[in-house]
Structure 1
Amino acid sequence: MNMRTSWRPTALLAGLVLLTAACGGGTTRSDVAAQQSAAPSAAASSAAADPNAPLKQGLKIAFLPKQVNNPYFTVADQGGIAATKEFGGEGKEVGPSDASASSQVSYINTLTQQKQDAIVISANDPNAVVPALKQARDAGIKVVSYDSDTAPDGRDVFVNQAGAEDLGRTQVQLLAEQIGHKGKIAVLSATPNATNQNTWIDFMKDELSKPEYKDMELVKVAYGNDDDQKSFTETQGLLRSYPDLAGIISPTTVGIAAAARYLSDSPAKGKVKLTGLGTPNQLRKFVKDGTIEAFELWSPADLGYLAAYSAAALASGQITGAEGETFKAGKLGDYTIGAKGEVLLGKPTVFNADNIDDFDF
Structure 2
Amino acid sequence: MLTTRTRRLTVAVSVTAALALGATACGGTTKSDAQKEGGAVSAGKADPSAATKKGLTVGFLPKQVNNPYFTSADNGGKKVLAELGETYKEVGPSSGTDTSGQVSYVNTLTQQQVNAMAVSAQDPGALCTALKQAMQNGIKVVTYDSDTKADCRNAFVSQASAEDLGRTQVQLLAQQIGYKGEIAILSAAQTATNQNTWIDYMKEELKDPKYKDVKLVKVAYGNDDAQQSFQQTQGLLQEYPGLKGIISPTTVGIKAAAQYLSGSKYKGKVKLSGLGTPNDMRKYVKNGTVEAFELWDPAKLGELAARTAVALSSGQISGKEGETFKAGAMGSYTIGKDGVINLGKPTVFNAKNIDQFNF
Identity %: 67
Shift of 1:359: 1.2
Q: Which residue does the alignment assign to 2:184?
A: 186
What is the rounded CA distance, in whole Å, between the counterparts of 1:91 and 1:246 in structure 2? 45
Q: What whole-Å deviation, never above 9, does each CA across 1:199-226 have from its counterpart, x for those lacking one? A: 0000000111111111111001000000
3-state DSSP class of the match of 2:100?
coil
| C-alpha contact 2:41 2:151 (8 A) present in aligned 1 | no
- Among 78, 88, 93, the alignment partner of 1:81 is 78
SS at match of 1:44: strand
Answering whether residue 315 of structure 2 is matched by residue 317 of structure 1, we say: yes
Partner of 2:265: 267
Partner SS state of residue 188, structure 1: strand
- Match of residue 141 from structure 2: 143
Alpha-carbon deviations, 1:284-309, whole Å to 9, x = none? 11111111000000000000000000
The one of 34, 44, 53 equivalent to 1:47 is 44
Q: Unaligned stretches of 5+ in structure 1?
A: 1-16, 18-38
What is the distance in 2 between the residues matched to 1:329 and 1:49? Answer: 16
Contact 2:64 2:94 in 1 (8 A): yes
* Structure 1 segment 1-361 matched on structure 2, within 5 A: 40-100=37-97, 101-361=99-359
Larger RCO: Structure 1 or Structure 2 (Cα < 8 Å, ≥ 6 residues apart)? 1
Q: Deviations over 1:295-332 (max 9, x none)?
A: 00000000000000000000010000001111111221
| Letter aligned with residue 205 of structure 1 | K
Shift of 1:172: 0.5
TM-score calculated relative to the size of structure 2: 0.89
The C-alpha deviation readout for 1:250-296, integer Å capped at 9, x for no partner, is 00000000000000011111110000000111111111111100000
Q: What is the count of residue pairs matched by the alignment?
A: 324
SS of aligned partner of 2:94: coil
- Relative to the length of structure 1, the TM-score reads 0.88
Superposed displacement of residue 43, structure 1: 2.8
Work out the CA distance in 2 between the residues paired with 1:321 and 1:97.
30
Segments of 4+ in structure 1 off by > 6 A?
none
CA shift, 1:99, in A, is 2.1
The amino acid of 1:277's aligned partner reads L
CA contact (8 A) 2:187 2:223 kept: yes
One-letter amino acid of the counterpart of residue 339, structure 1: K
CA RMSD of aligned residues (A): 1.1
